[in-house]
């Protein structure tokens, strides 16, 4: 990891009233990696994601995206920045008044001047990547199943070929088979298109299948970051409960078993 | 051909590596060389796509392609070239690894053509008129059914009053009644003043200034007060009831209630209808009183009628029967507004547009209905001779 970080969170402090969520939190995210943010409920994973996106302001510290504080992007710069990232919201956040096609076409139409024929080709191409058909393009978001909502939302997040993709609980609410398919889809697209992924997730299967690096949020900071093995070798009550539980061992299989042995010789 | 860069839609300050040569497409006899940016942002300049497509079309079929000079490339640019090539990579193409990966994805997931749009039908407008009639009938039927269910629920409430939703009813009375006192007072006062000004001018011409009491009193209590209060309440509380029930549909709260065996009629419709039927007549009387005070103030200013005299004349001028008419109208309008608001609330589908449309339809239907009911009452009372 010698390249310059694409996102750099420095000395971040967040508090809701008197409840401190982050204190002096530091985190660097490097190009082309898939970073999983892991932490208990209320550890401020989603809040951190929102602060990186500039949706929320931290009380202290700075969040740098592409080398510049995210708050410094204003006007045209901010618009240009938003074309370089995409976000998959937990519940999809599809525009419920627009059909699937228009949802995916919206970011392209917002560029203005792209001919409608090209937009149509690009939208149908994205749908085909997601395993959806041209017939699905006319459906309204309320007619979609949970898995389809995630796929359409991912297609919309990828509409402008972003360099950075944020995923908030990408597999939450999907059945195991759909979740596996969705993870595989992200993995293939990441391999082919080479974007950087920052994801918040609780799902050990997703972490095991996707993450190239894991950062654990606990005690108001990044407790430990590194490969899954490094993280699992760390002694901490949260990590024990999260990764070495019966569920964790089952999900991570051999990795977990091996590392448990390493941790307790 | 020069590209129009620095176009206001886009500034490329972020892309440090992008270098835009004068011409992104260089054709010679054998090789077609592409350079510059081929991403969505670069193509999103007025006419740019058409220019590039026209230029690409001039490349010879046998020409080989060189894409290695491209600085920024994405799926939008790739799609443009892919279409030009007829969805196959041409022979002897020079690509970077990432470009090849992108074209591999395009080849792997072919774009299927959308089914043709259905042909426009002749006499479509006839079908639409018929559809409109059926929708109207459906609404009427739905309202009638809801009214029937309401009487059923009301009967059950009277049988076992101890299990009634009294807390909900009192909360609703406060929300639709007490909290509407300010706005109804303001509007009532202003309308009373305006009416008094207009009447005073006309009556002064005939020297019949003292008849203003009768004119204002009857007009306000019998017609204006109920209508004014109903329009304000329909806009204020009707819309909020529809939006609230609609939002409960969106968040599946309605389904949750049904699963728990809690009746929508008992817990949502009945309390709102009862609350509005109680609060509306009181609001009507309040609006009447404030409008008459507004009229009284103007009568003092314009016709020099003292307030004591005006006040003293009111009981004879209006008469108790007009007050009862006012109260009956208030109750009917209140129940109608609540019923319509609930009806449209339950019909909202779980999306934002339906929420907006349902709320509009609720208010428009409620106000139109209020005026229609008012006209029916006018005919009824005329027949009865009161």
How far, in Å, CA of A69 to CA of A8, rounded? 9
Q: What is the pLDDT of residue A77?
A: 87
Please indicate whether residue A218 or residue B273 has the higher confidence score (pLDDT): B273
Kindly provide the ipTM of the predicted complex, given to two decimals: 0.70
Q: What is the pLDDT of residue B170?
A: 94
For A130, B81, B178, B293, B333, the CA distances from B282, given in Å and listed in that order, are 59, 72, 10, 17, 12
Express each pLDDT in A79-100 by its tens digit.
888 888 899 988 888 888 889 9
Q: What is the pLDDT of residue B367?
A: 96
Q: What is the pLDDT of residue B15?
A: 40
Give me Rg for the CA atoms of chain B: 35
Record: contact A118-B76, CB cut-off 8 A:
yes
Please indicate whether residue B110 or residue A106 has the higher confidence score (pLDDT): A106
Q: What is the pLDDT of residue A2?
A: 62
Per DSSP bridges, beta strands A85-88 and A68-69 are: unpaired
Minimum-distance CB partner of A128 among B10, B39, B111: B111
CA-based nearest residue in chain B for residue A185:
B105
A134 CA: distance to closest CA in chain B (Å): 5
Dihedral angle at the C-alpha atoms of B270, B272, B278, B280, nearest 10 degrees?
-140
Q: How many CB pairs under 8 A join A and B?
A: 110
Q: What is the pLDDT of residue A76?
A: 84
**Surface of B (112-151) touching A: CB under 8 A:** 112-115
Domains of chain A (ranges plus CATH)? 7-226 (3.40.50.300)
What are the residues of chain A with a beta carbon less than 8 Å away from any beta carbon of chain B? 66, 76-77, 80-81, 83-84, 95-97, 108, 111-115, 118, 120-122, 124-126, 128-129, 133-135, 137, 140-142, 160-161, 189, 191-194
Q: What is the pLDDT of residue B340?
A: 96
Q: What is the pLDDT of residue B78?
A: 87
Task: State both tokens at B138.
Answer: 């459906």
Q: What is the pLDDT of residue B4?
A: 39
Minimum-distance CB partner of B49 among A97, A118, A193: A118
Q: What is the pLDDT of residue B1?
A: 38
Most confident of A116-130, A234-248, B51-65: A116-130
Q: What is the pLDDT of residue B137?
A: 95
How far, in Å, CA of B31 to CA of B90, rounded? 12
Buried b (16+ CB within 10 A) or exposed e, B99-113: beebbebbeebebee
Contacts of B114 in chain A (CB under 8 A): 120, 124, 134, 137
Report residue A189 CA to chain centroid gap: 14
In total, chain A counts a number of residues equal to: 265
Return per-residue pLDDT of chain B as tens, 386 residues.
344 333 333 333 344 344 455 677 887 777 888 888 888 888 888 888 888 888 888 887 778 888 888 888 888 888 888 888 888 888 878 888 888 888 888 887 777 666 666 777 778 889 899 999 999 999 999 999 999 999 999 998 899 888 888 999 999 999 999 999 999 999 999 999 999 999 998 888 888 888 899 999 999 999 999 999 999 999 999 999 999 999 998 888 888 888 887 888 888 999 999 999 999 999 999 999 999 999 999 999 988 888 899 989 988 888 899 999 999 999 999 999 999 999 999 999 888 888 999 999 999 999 999 999 999 999 999 998 87
Q: What is the pLDDT of residue B272?
A: 95
Minimum-distance CB partner of B111 among A113, A125, A193: A125
Record: contact B41-A122, CB cut-off 8 A:
no
Nearest CA among B12, B228, B103, B138 for reference residue A80: B12
Res A152 pLDDT > 70? yes
Record: contact B75-A122, CB cut-off 8 A:
yes
Q: Which residues contact A9 (CB under 8 A, 6 or more apart)?
A: A25, A26, A27, A28, A48, A51, A52, A61, A62, A63, A64
Res A130 pLDDT > 70? yes
Helix axes A176-193, B97-108, angle to 10 degrees: 140
How far, in Å, CA of A195 to CA of A158, rounded? 10
Q: Kindly report the CA angle at A120 between A114 and A126, in degrees rounded to 5?
A: 110
Q: What is the pLDDT of residue B359?
A: 95
For A216, A221, A238, A261, B331, the CA distances from A234, given in Å and listed in that order, are 11, 15, 10, 13, 71
Buried b (16+ CB within 10 A) or exposed e, A217-230: bbebbbbbbeebee
Q: What is the pLDDT of residue B226?
A: 95
Q: What is the pLDDT of residue B73?
A: 85
Q: What is the pLDDT of residue B17?
A: 42
């Amino acid at each position: 990891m010698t390249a310059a970080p694409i996102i750099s969170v420095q000395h971040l402090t967040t508090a809701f009233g008197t409840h401190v969520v982050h204190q002096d939190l530091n985190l660097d995210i490097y190009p082309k990696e898939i970073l999983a943010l892991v932490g208990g409920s209320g550890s401020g994973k989603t809040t951190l994601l929102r602060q990186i996106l500039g949706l929320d302001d931290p009380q202290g510290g700075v969040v740098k995206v592409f080398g510049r504080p995210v708050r410094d992007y204003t006007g045209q710069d901010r618009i240009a920045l938003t074309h370089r990232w995409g976000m998959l919201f937990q519940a999809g956040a599809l525009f419920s008044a627009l059909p699937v096609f228009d949802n995916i076409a919206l970011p392209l139409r917002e560029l203005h001047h792209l001919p409608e024929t090209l937009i149509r080709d690009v939208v149908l191409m994205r749908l085909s990547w997601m395993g959806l058909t041209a017939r699905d393009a006319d459906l309204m978001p309320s007619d979609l199943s949970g898995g389809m909502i995630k796929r359409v939302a991912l297609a919309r997040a990828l509409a402008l070929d972003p360099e950075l993709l944020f995923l908030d609980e990408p597999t939450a609410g999907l059945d195991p088979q759909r979740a596996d398919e969705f993870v595989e889809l992200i993995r293939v697209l990441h391999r082919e298109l080479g974007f950087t992924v920052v994801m918040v997730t609780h799902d050990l299967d997703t972490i095991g299948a996707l993450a190239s690096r894991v950062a654990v949020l606990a005690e108001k900071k990044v407790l430990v970051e590194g490969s899954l093995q490094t993280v699992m070798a760390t002694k901490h009550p949260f990590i024990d409960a999260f990764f070495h539980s019966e569920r964790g061992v089952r999900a991570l299989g051999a990795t977990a078993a091996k590392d448990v042995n390493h941790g307790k010789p | 051909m020069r590209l129009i860069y620095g176009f206001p839609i886009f500034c490329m300050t972020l892309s440090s590596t992008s270098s835009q040569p004068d011409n992104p497409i260089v054709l010679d006899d054998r090789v077609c060389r592409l350079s510059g940016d081929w991403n969505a942002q670069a193509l999103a300049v007025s006419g740019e796509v058409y220019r590039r497509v026209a230029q690409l079309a001039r490349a010879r079929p046998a020409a080989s392609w060189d894409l290695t000079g491209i600085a920024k490339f994405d799926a939008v640019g790739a799609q443009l070239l892919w279409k030009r090539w007829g969805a196959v990579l041409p022979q002897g193409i020079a690509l970077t690894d990432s470009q090849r990966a992108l074209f591999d994805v395009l080849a792997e997931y072919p774009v299927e053509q959308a089914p043709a749009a259905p042909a426009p039908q002749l006499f479509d407008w006839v079908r639409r008129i018929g559809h409109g009639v059926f929708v109207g009938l459906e609404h009427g039927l739905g309202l009638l059914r809801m009214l029937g269910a309401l009487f059923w629920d009301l009967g059950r409430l009277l049988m076992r009053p101890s299990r009634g939703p009294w807390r909900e009813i009192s909360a609703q009375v406060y929300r639709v009644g007490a909290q509407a006192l300010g706005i109804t007072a303001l509007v009532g006062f202003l309308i009373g003043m305006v009416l008094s000004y207009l009447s005073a001018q006309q009556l002064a011409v005939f020297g019949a200034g003292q008849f203003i009491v009768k004119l204002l009193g009857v007009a306000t209590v019998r017609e204006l007060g109920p209508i004014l209060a109903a329009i304000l309440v329909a806009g204020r509380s009707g819309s909020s009831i529809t939006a609230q029930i609609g939002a409960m549909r969106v968040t599946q709260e309605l389904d949750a209630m049904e699963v728990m065996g809690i009746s929508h009629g008992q817990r949502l419709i009945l309390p709102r209808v009862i609350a509005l039927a109680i609060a509306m007549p009181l609001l009507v009387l309040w609006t009447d009183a404030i409008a008459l005070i507004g009229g009284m103030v103007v009568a003092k200013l314009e016709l020099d009628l003292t307030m004591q005299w005006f006040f003293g004349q009111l009981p004879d001028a209006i008469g108790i029967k007009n007050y009862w008419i006012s109260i009956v109208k208030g109750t009917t309008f209140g129940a109608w507004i609540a019923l319509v608001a609930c009806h449209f609330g339950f019909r909202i589908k779980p999306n934002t547009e339906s929420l907006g449309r349902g709320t509009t339809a609720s208010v428009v239907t409620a106000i139109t209905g209020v005026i229609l009911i008012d006209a029916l009452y006018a005919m009824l009372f005329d027949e009865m001779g009161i």
